[in-house]
Amino acid sequence: MNSPPDAQARSAASNLPIGSRGRLEAVAFAILAVLIWPIIAVGVVAGWGFLVWMYYLFTGPPGPV
């Protein structure tokens, strides 16, 4: 019986020597910290700005009543 792909990936990662596994984790962390999360953060801020811009487009700017 075949094991699921996740189990195969965990098994392959656990068969790596300790130094290789640590290096692989460091590279994965660096990619997440330097590339992925900043892109997500900019996208969230830009999306929020777009929503506020569209809201003001339909309701007018805030101000005294």
All structural domains of the chain with their residue ranges: 21-59
Q: State the pTM of this model.
A: 0.58
pLDDT score recorded for residue 29: 93
- Extract the tokens encoding 49: 């700005």
Q: Which residue has the higher pLDDT, 2 or 63?
A: 63
Q: For residue 20, what pLDDT band results from cuts at 50, 70 and 90?
A: confident
Torsion angles phi and psi, residue 5, rounded to 5: -60, -35
pLDDT in tens, 21-63: 888 999 999 999 999 999 999 999 999 999 999 999 999 988 8
- Residue type at position 13: A
pLDDT at 15 over 80: no
